Structure 1
Amino acid sequence: MAQPVVLPAGYTARPLDPARDLPDVLDLLTGCERALHGERATEADSGEIAAVLARPGFDPAADTLLVHGPDGRLAAWAWTDRRCECRVHPAHRGRRIGTALLGWMETRAAEQGVDKLVQVVADLDAAGLAMLRTYGYRPKGASWLLEIPLDALPDLPPAPAGIRVRPFRPGDPDDAHAAHRVVEDAFADWKARRMSFEEWVQHAVGRETFTPARSPLAVTGADDRVVGVALSLDQPGSPDGYVESLAVDRDHRRRGIARHLLHHAFLACREAGLSRCTLWTHSGTGALDLYLKVGMTVRYTSVVLEKTLPA
């Protein structure tokens, strides 16, 4: 078992209890984002944490840790499972809580036989980046949050030949399985592992904030086969729409399908009364140029860091 973390006087640590701790973790994530950016980069929802808990073999009792301050309020949380994350509330920084949790994450990862850990940190978080570099993490890529205003979108271009676009059909298992296939196949080259259908649902169409009406599918006219998807999430209280996944079958790329799906998603967001649409992309996908060409701009940048752990 991982060694207990050494914390400042008055602080306590215990694993996450999914039945009671999710609201406090969501508040912590929102506080961290607003302190860094002045707003939440993408609105927190329970699906974000549910996706972590759905990782195969993930055990909240062993793979998560919550730190509470002397006042009993949540001060930090961390989880580890090849990827890892540590968030410390701004009011509790400067007390080496993050350093203690980093040691816990690496010890736990070593117990699991993990040889590399990956973390994603906002480029504005100079202190966090400096700490990770000090402890041997090195940049391996970047991710970007992009946005586009919806008040002056260009006209919707014609659909590529032989392709029509329709919304995702909620409750239709065929659409869910087809979307899973397209997304996982599209990102197979740069993701560390393929998600099972059950885990993927927790990340995407099973989330409470999933919005089928803003999630267009590209299908072939001949056999109604799904060859492209743009899956969107709602962000309650935010003026932004959010595209969670954009993917196109390999055999149908370079035909303008991705651009066409994006335009449909943007228009659906505007019809819903939203003022902007956002999405994240990773340097490993090579998709940044596509988003810039459709008029999106970078709002935030994050650094992807990796550390090789000792055997």
Structure 2
Amino acid sequence: MTTPPPPPGLTARPLTPTDLDEVYAVYAADEVADAGHLAIEPEDLAGDWSRPSFDLAHDSIGLFENGHVVAAAEVTRGGTRAEGAVHPDVRGRGIGSWLVDWTEARARELGAATVGQTTPEGSVAQRLFLNRGYRLGHTSWVLTLPAGAEIEQRPLPPGYTLGHCPDARRERAAYEVIQQAFDEWEGRERESYADWAATTVRRPGTQPWQLRIVEHEGEVVGASFTILDMQGTGYLHQLAVDARHRGQGLAQAMLADAFERAREEGATHSELSTDSRTGALDLYRKVGMEVTQTWTHLVTDLR
């Protein structure tokens, strides 16, 4: 792909692993400026960059000023999803528009029919995409458990057990449960086991307590994965129940268990995100969680 000339005063090149710390600083500053909250961690970038489906040398771009990263973007999932950030100190110079041009061009090169990016509601980035004709794909919400509150414990039905994942076979089965549940989302493309593992069980710093499973008669029928971030937040990254075993309180039992395990490891806050494709928002509100952030996934056609 021929990269267009960058905005004046900047140079452009693909990112390399040695850029990770500077890229993280840009993403973090951008997130705080637009969302008012820091959630991204260096381990998130390291996990994303280690996915076999992601080619850092071709699917990423960095913009540099005086030898330092001031903006960056990536295209993933076969070109259908993009992420990008501009450091607040250099906004207003056409850098965001340049990054969007680059992500759309790279997505086309990968053969994608659409590309989308998730932005905080009311943010500079959201206005940029809407002004370019992007449409709403889905809405996401971050929910937090109020201080001092706990999810009500739900006893498991007879024949079900909840615990850590003790071996590779069950780990693979947990992946299958999660993917099958997420496959119910319209338009979702399943990620490979290797890609999933890179951002969960192989994510830098991951410990055994983070992946929990529910079993019934020796079969894994539910799974959750929780991240304890550097802000002291126990963030429930994924939770899924096999469709054949829903309606028995397994999701609430795993939710309470995930946050309890995180608190045992030092978490002071409990948080998760869900979106309009899952239909789970009312469940989380019912158990006492409150919406603290709203994000929009905006999409455009490329053909």
Q: Is the 8 A contact 1:117 1:306 kept in 2?
A: yes
Change (3 A) 1:37 1:114: closer
Question: What fraction of aligned residue pairs are identical, expressed as a percent?
Answer: 34
**Equivalent position of 2:60 in the other structure:** 64
2:225 to 222, 231, 238: 231
2:74 to 73, 79, 85: 79
Change (3 A) 1:297 1:158: same
Cα distance in structure 2, aligned partners of 1:150 and 1:210: 26
Equivalent AA in structure 2 for residue 93 of structure 1: R
**Equivalent position of 1:92 in the other structure:** 90
**What per-residue deviation string (whole Å, max 9, x for no partner) do you get for residues 79-125 of structure 1?**
12210112101011110011111111111222222110111111031
Cα distance in structure 2, aligned partners of 1:52 and 1:255: 38
TM-score, normalising length: structure 1: 0.90
**Equivalent position of 1:51 in the other structure:** 48
Cα distance in structure 2, aligned partners of 1:155 and 1:216: 18
Cα distance in structure 1, aligned partners of 2:152 and 2:276: 29
Cα distance in structure 1, aligned partners of 2:40 and 2:127: 26
Change (3 A) 1:149 1:273: farther
Q: Report matched runs for 1:20-169 at 5 Å.
A: 20-40=18-38, 42-54=39-51, 56=53, 58-69=54-65, 71-80=66-75, 81-125=79-123, 127-149=124-146, 151-153=148-150, 155-169=152-166
Give SS of 1:299's match. Answer: strand
Cα distance, 1:288 vs structure 2 = 0.9
Cα distance in structure 2, aligned partners of 1:176 and 1:45: 24
Change (3 A) 1:154 1:132: closer
Q: Is the 8 A contact 2:115 2:301 kept in 1?
A: yes
Q: Is the 8 A contact 1:85 1:119 kept in 2?
A: yes
Q: Is the 8 A contact 1:184 1:194 kept in 2?
A: yes
- The more displaced of 288-297 and 254-263 is 288-297
Change (3 A) 1:205 1:150: farther
**Equivalent position of 1:258 in the other structure:** 251
Q: State the number of aligned residues.
A: 299
**Equivalent position of 1:174 in the other structure:** 169
Equivalent AA in structure 2 for residue 286 of structure 1: G
Cα distance, 1:176 vs structure 2 = 1.4
Q: Is the 8 A contact 1:150 1:270 kept in 2?
A: no
> What is the aligned-residue RMSD (CA, Å)?
1.8
Unpaired runs of 5+ residues, structure 1, are none
Cα distance in structure 2, aligned partners of 1:123 and 1:5: 29
Q: Report matched runs for 1:183-262 at 5 Å.
A: 183-190=178-185, 192-220=188-216, 223-236=217-230, 238-262=231-255
Cα distance in structure 1, aligned partners of 2:49 and 2:113: 20
Give SS of 1:241's match. Answer: strand
Equivalent AA in structure 1 for residue 226 of structure 2: S
Equivalent AA in structure 1 for residue 10 of structure 2: Y
Change (3 A) 1:152 1:111: closer
Cα distance, 1:8 vs structure 2 = 2.9
Cα distance, 1:52 vs structure 2 = 4.7
Change (3 A) 1:37 1:121: closer
- The more displaced of 247-256 and 111-120 is 111-120
Give SS of 2:37's match. Answer: coil
Cα distance in structure 2, aligned partners of 1:292 and 1:216: 22
Give SS of 1:189's match. Answer: coil
Cα distance, 1:276 vs structure 2 = 1.3
Equivalent AA in structure 1 for residue 287 of structure 2: V
Cα distance in structure 2, aligned partners of 1:215 and 1:95: 44
Cα distance in structure 1, aligned partners of 2:174 and 2:23: 29
TM-score, normalising length: structure 2: 0.93
Cα distance in structure 2, aligned partners of 1:147 and 1:17: 35
Change (3 A) 1:215 1:60: closer
